[in-house]
């Protein structure tokens, strides 16, 4: 028997590998359903019952989009980008990826809606779809393969099923988006409007010029200001009810600690580990002369004889060693840096995870205790150096790692509540990511405190003091974080917490009202004389813009960029309609930018089309696509919203309490 096993050992290992892969996959496909295997109704659509197994299958399909289906690395610069992550970056699917966190049954309902519409996509079609859309599959072992190369048939069928489900849902959205018909007059009007070149005279007003004229607010003024926007997040998109974008609601906030291995620190240690890098570089240079070849430029002839002779052949020459020394050294040390970085990170991971397991065994239900201490204080004031939760623990860990490897990890304890915006500004870790998820988003959206109970067991979820997965930045540095506290989004408990912002915004709003009154006065005076004389009378400066159209990125004498500039240009286009409807009156208007605290009194000086008639066919097609997307914007906002999907399908959740 022993000889038989030895003879067929490779076959046994292959079979064992398949068994382990299946064992790895099966839990992920059943953990959402009832563990006993029973089937029971959880809701109904009309007279038809919806069972827990239906929802479980949809959850498994979505998990495949998050874990296994990826964009082919050859199109992502060798980065692994799961399909679900790519969807998060697409405005058409932002709502879906957000709603799936709190409403996992949503994916099932969307498939049901697609089926009702007669959309048929078969799993057998997915092999060709994967090739067309440059999809690949990440195996549980993290190896990236083509769908057709998966040897485990059960796993491959699951991937095809998930991909077909997503494609059906996508087709359903596209059918809704492209239902509107774009007429030729609509296209012609948009082309004429977008490709008009304009030039304006403007008088620029800013709230900064009027703040000194605003009196101090009363307590009642501040209370009204606070109550009006206490349930609105800061920097909210401007709206009719909130044109200035005020908001005092706190977003998700966390306190955390982190330990990092900086690329530059490892590089210095590798360079210091040997004193013969120069010698190694010279050996490499002599052994690989072709790598450092350079073409010698031809020289101009200097004599009559040389002008009649054929020019000497020029060819590659080897650049001098001194010119390429640094390049060679960096080439030689790069593998050493990679190995040492991985070794240090592995040591940190092993220590943190081992100590966490021991600590968590004694503290199975730790409580969140966010603090507002100064950032230099330990996260847990009562903890000693031996306490796993203390900052002193990380300090001791860093010293031990330095003794073992010669590299001192960077550590920090952020004990004041941090928003995503706060975390983004931290040098180094602020630019790191986990599987393309930016650190600020990861820390403030994946905390267990912020997730529904059904989502808290996922590997990315940040439990209290549990070391995270490794984040990395573009420079090659790596970081592990652990949350020490978390406060979910909500209105301030009292105005005192945000009183400075409330007072600043109240004054801003009053200054804006004053500014608008002055701008309107200039506009009315200009209608009876000219904008130049009205500006002079009001002691304001008149400026003339450069010629611009809808594609212009910089307009002289209009210091705007991004979305404010786009708003300015869109508003300026209405001057063309005014010129057409009232040809004897100089077209003038106020261009308001409330969130920026700016108002322009604008007068149209000139307008002329800038269309190349040879490109009309292409412009017509582009314009039709743009109009389609503009009309589809409400659909993109609402199509994947859970409440809208429930209303469209008529789904009744029997597990919801009445």
- The verdict on residue 284 lying in a domain is no
Residues 6+ away with beta carbon under 8 Å from 248: 226, 229, 230, 232, 234, 491, 492, 498, 501, 502
Comparing 310 with 572, the larger pLDDT belongs to 572
pLDDT grade for 509, boundaries at 50, 70 and 90: very high
pLDDT at 28: 38
Provide the pLDDT for residue 302: 41
Instruction: Please check whether residue 574 lies inside any domain of the structure.
Output: yes
Beta bridge partners of 261: 478
Q: Are residues 31 and 90 in the same domain?
A: yes
Alpha-carbon distance of 349 to 471, in angstroms, equals: 12
Q: Which residue has the higher pLDDT, 38 or 77?
A: 38
Q: Domain end: 454, 487, 520, which one?
A: 487
Is residue 45 a contact partner of residue 651, using CB atoms and an 8 Å limit? yes
Report which of 149, 136, 140, 123 is spatially closest to residue 25, judged by C-alpha positions: 140
Same domain, 27 and 137: yes
| Statement: residue 266 has pLDDT above 70 | yes
Please report how the helices 94-102 and 106-116 are oriented relative to each other, as an axis angle in degrees rounded to 10: 130
Residue 262 pLDDT level (bands cut at 50, 70, 90): very high
User: How far apart are the C-alpha atoms of 365 and 359, rounded to whole Å?
Assistant: 11
Domain boundary among the residues 460, 487, 514 is at 487
Give the mean model confidence (pLDDT) for residues 295-304. 44
Based on the fold, state whether residues 475 and 512 are members of the same structural domain.
no
For residue 633, being part of any structural domain is answered with: no
For residues 568 and 564, give the distance between their C-alpha atoms in angstroms, rounded to a whole number.
Answer: 6
Query: Are 479 and 259 contacting, i.e. CB atoms less than 8 angstroms apart?
Result: yes
Same domain, 137 and 159: yes
197-211, 272-286, 421-435, range with the lowest pLDDT = 272-286
SS3 per-residue string spanning 192-224: HHHCEEEEEEEEEEEHHHCHHHCCCCCHHHHHH
User: Which comes out higher in pLDDT, residue 335 or 37?
Assistant: 335
Same domain, 201 and 153: no
| Report for 45-54, 360-369, 581-590: range of highest mean pLDDT | 45-54
Q: Where does the pLDDT of residue 301 fall: very low under 50, low under 70, confident under 90, or very high at 90 and above?
A: very low
Residues 14 and 60 in one domain: yes
Asked whether residue 541 falls in the same domain as residue 556, the answer is: yes
Of residues 165 and 367, more confidence is placed in 165
Q: Is residue 569 part of a domain?
A: yes
Q: Verify that 26 and 154 share a domain, yes or no.
A: yes
Three-class secondary structure of residue 559 per DSSP? coil
Q: Is the pLDDT of residue 446 over 60?
A: yes
User: What value does the mean pLDDT take over residues 370-399?
Assistant: 64
- Which domain does 599 fall in, by range? 196-250+499-610
Lowest-pLDDT choice from 43-52, 371-380, 621-630 = 371-380
Of the pLDDT bands very low, low, confident and very high (cuts 50, 70, 90), residue 210 is very high
- pLDDT higher than 90, residue 411: yes
Report yes or no on 313 lying in a domain.
no
Residue 405 and residue 266 in contact, taking contact as beta carbons nearer than 8 Å: no
- How many angstroms separate the CA atoms of 452 and 564, rounded? 37
Gap between the Cα atoms of 383 and 379, Å rounded? 8
Same domain, 98 and 149: yes
For residue 190, pLDDT beyond 80:
no
Q: Report the number of distinct structural domains present in the chain.
A: 3
Q: Which of 67-71, 248-252, 451-455, 630-634 has the lowest mean pLDDT?
A: 630-634
pLDDT digits (tens, 9 = 90+) for 122-177: 888 899 989 888 898 988 877 788 898 888 899 999 999 999 999 999 888 888 77
Q: Is residue 525, in this structure, part of any structural domain at all?
A: yes
Residues in contact with 364: Cβ distance below 8 Å, sequence separation at least 6, in sequence order: none
Structure confidence at residue 287 as a pLDDT band (50, 70, 90): confident
d(CA 540, CA 241): 30
pLDDT above 90 for 500: yes
- Residue 56 pLDDT more than 50? yes
**Is a pLDDT exceeding 60 seen at residue 305?**
no
- The SS3 assignment for 325 reads helix
568, 576 Cβ separation under 8 angstroms? no
pLDDT above 70 as % of the chain: 79
Average pLDDT of the residues in 455-484: 90
Q: Do 379 and 234 reside in the same domain of the chain?
A: no
Query: Distance of CA 237 to CAs 219, 242, 243, 508, 563, Å?
Result: 27, 8, 8, 17, 11
Between residues 599 and 173, the one the model is more confident about: 599
One domain, residues 523 and 466: no
Asked if residues 169 and 110 have their Cβ atoms less than 8 Å apart, the reply is yes
pLDDT digits (tens, 9 = 90+) for 15-24: 444 333 433 3
What is the residue-averaged pLDDT of the chain?
A: 81
> How many whole angstroms separate alpha carbon 136 and alpha carbon 75?
11
Answer yes or no: is pLDDT of 67 > 70.
yes
* pLDDT score at 212: 95
Element (H, E) at 416: strand 410-418
In a domain, 546, yes or no: yes
Q: Does one domain contain both 344 and 441?
A: yes
Question: Where a domain ends, among 467, 487, 507?
Answer: 487
Calpha distance 380→357 (Å, rounded): 19
Q: For every residue of 144-208, which 3-state class applies, written as one string? A: EECHHHCCCHHHHHHHHHHHHHHHHHHHHHHHHHCCCCCCHHHHHHHHHHHCEEEEEEEEEEEHH
**Mean pLDDT within 588-615:** 85
Residue 327's pLDDT band, with cuts at 50, 70 and 90, is: confident
Asked if the model's pLDDT at residue 433 lies above 50, the reply is yes
User: Is 296 part of any domain?
Assistant: no
């Amino acid at each position: 028997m022993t000889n038989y096993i030895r003879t067929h050992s490779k076959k046994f290992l292959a079979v064992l590998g398949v068994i382990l892969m299946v064992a790895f996959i099966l839990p992920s496909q059943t953990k959402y359903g009832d563990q006993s295997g029973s089937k029971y109704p959880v809701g109904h659509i009309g007279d038809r019952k919806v069972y827990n197994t239906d929802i479980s299958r949809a959850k498994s399909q979505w998990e495949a989009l998050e874990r296994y289906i990826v964009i082919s690395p050859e199109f992502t610069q060798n980065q692994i980008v799961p399909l679900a992550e790519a969807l998060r970056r697409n405005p058409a699917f932002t709502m879906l990826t957000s709603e799936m966190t709190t409403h996992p049954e949503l994916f099932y309902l969307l498939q049901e809606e697609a089926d009702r519409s007669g959309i048929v996509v078969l799993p057998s079609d997915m092999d060709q779809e994967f090739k067309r859309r440059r999809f690949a599959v990440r195996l549980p072992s993290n190896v990236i393969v083509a769908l057709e190369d998966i040897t485990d048939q059960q796993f491959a069928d699951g991937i095809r099923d998930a991909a077909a489900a997503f494609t059906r849902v996508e087709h359903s959205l596209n059918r809704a988006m492209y239902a509107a018909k774009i007429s030729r007059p609509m296209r012609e009007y948009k082309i004429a409007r977008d490709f008009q070149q304009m030039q304006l005279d403007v008088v620029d007003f800013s709230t900064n010029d009027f703040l000194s004229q605003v009196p101090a607010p009363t307590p009642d003024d501040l209370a009204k200001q606070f109550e009006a926007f206490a349930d609105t997040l800061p920097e909210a998109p401007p709206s009719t009810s909130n044109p200035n974008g005020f908001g005092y609601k706190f977003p998700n906030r966390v306190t955390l600690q982190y330990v990092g291995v900086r690329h530059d620190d490892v590089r210095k240690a590798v360079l210091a580990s040997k004193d013969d890098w120069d010698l190694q570089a010279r050996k490499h240079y002599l052994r690989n002369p072709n790598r450092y070849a350079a073409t010698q430029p031809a020289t101009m002839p200097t004599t009559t004889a040389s002008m009649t002779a054929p020019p000497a052949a020029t060819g590659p020459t080897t650049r001098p060693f001194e010119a390429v020394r640094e390049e060679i050294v960096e080439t030689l040390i790069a593998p050493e840096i990679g190995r040492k970085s991985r070794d240090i990170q592995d040591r940190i991971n092993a220590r943190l995870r081992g100590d966490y397991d021991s600590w968590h065994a004694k503290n199975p239900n730790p409580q969140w205790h966010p603090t507002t201490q100064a950032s230099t204080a330990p996260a847990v004031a009562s903890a000693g150096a031996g306490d796993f939760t203390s900052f002193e623990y990380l300090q001791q860990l860093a010293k031990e790692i330095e003794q073992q490897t010669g590299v001192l990890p960077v550590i920090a304890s952020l004990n004041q509540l941090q928003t995503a915006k706060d975390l983004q500004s931290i040098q180094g870790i602020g630019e790191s990511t986990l599987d393309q998820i930016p650190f600020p988003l990861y820390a403030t959206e994946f905390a267990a405190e912020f997730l529904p109970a059904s989502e808290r067991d996922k590997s990315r979820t940040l439990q209290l003091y549990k070391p995270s997965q490794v984040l990395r930045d573009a420079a090659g540095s790596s970081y592990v974080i652990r949350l020490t506290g978390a406060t979910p989004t909500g209105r301030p408990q009292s105005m005192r917490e945000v009183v400075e912002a409330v007072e600043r915004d109240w004054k801003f709003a009053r200054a804006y009202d004053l500014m608008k009154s002055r701008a309107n006065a200039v506009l009315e005076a200009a209608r009876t004389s000219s904008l130049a004389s009205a500006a002079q009378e009001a002691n304001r400066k008149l400026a003339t813009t450069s010629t611009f159209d809808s594609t212009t990125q910089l307009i002289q004498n209009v210091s705007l960029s991004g979305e404010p500039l786009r708003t300015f240009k869109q508003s300026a286009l209405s001057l063309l309609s005014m010129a057409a409807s009232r040809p004897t009156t100089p077209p003038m208007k106020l261009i308001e930018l409330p969130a920026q605290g700016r108002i322009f009194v604008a007068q149209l000086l000139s307008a002329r089309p800038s269309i190349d008639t040879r490109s009309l066919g292409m412009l017509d097609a582009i314009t039709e696509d743009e109009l389609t997307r503009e009309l589809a914007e409400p659909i993109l906002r609402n199509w994947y919203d859970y409440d809208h999907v429930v209303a469209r399908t008529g789904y009744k959740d029997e597990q919801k309490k009445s």
